Amino acid sequence: MGNMATSNLGRTGVALTNLGFGGAPLGDLFEILSETQAQGTLQAAWDAGLRYFDTAPFYGYGKSEHRFGHFLRQQPRNEFVLSTKIGRVLRATRDPDNFDKGMWAGGLPFDLYFDYSYDGVMRSFEDSLQRLSLNSIDLLLIHDLDHMFHVNDTRINAHMVQLGTSGWRALEELRSSGQIKGIGAGVNQMGTIPRFLEMVDLDFFIVAMPYTLLDQDVLDAEFPQCEERGVGVVIGAVFASGILATGPTENAYYAYAPAPPEVLEKTRRIQAVCDRHNVPLRAAALQFPLAHPIVAAAIPGGLMPEHVQSNVEIFEHPIPADLWSELKAEGLLREDAPTP
| Residues counted in the chain | 340
Q: Which of 28, 52, 59, 115 is labelled catalytic? A: 59
Beta bridge partners of 258: 253
| Nearest one of 290, 304, 157, 301 to 242, comparing CA atoms | 301
Is 52 annotated in the active site?
no
Q: Which of 54, 138, 144, 146 is labelled catalytic? A: 54
CB 59 within 8 A of CB 93: no
Query: What is the DSSP annotation of 147-201?
Result: HHHH-SHHHHHHHHHHIIIIIHHHHHHHHHTTS-SEEEEEE-STTHHHHHHHHS-
79 to 9, 12, 143, 179: CA distances (angstroms): 16, 17, 25, 17
Q: Which of 28, 52, 61, 85 is labelled catalytic? A: 85
Query: What is the DSSP annotation of 112-156?
Result: EEE--SHHHHHHHHHHHHHHHT-S--SEEEEE--SHHHH-SHHHH
CA distance 263 to 215: 10
CA distance 181 to 232: 13
Work out the angle at residue 72's Cα, subtended by the Cα atoms of residues 69 and 75, and round it to the nearest 5 degrees: 150
| Nearest one of 131, 217, 140 to 181, comparing CA atoms | 140
Is 266 annotated in the active site?
no
Is 54 annotated in the active site?
yes
Active site residues: 54, 59, 85
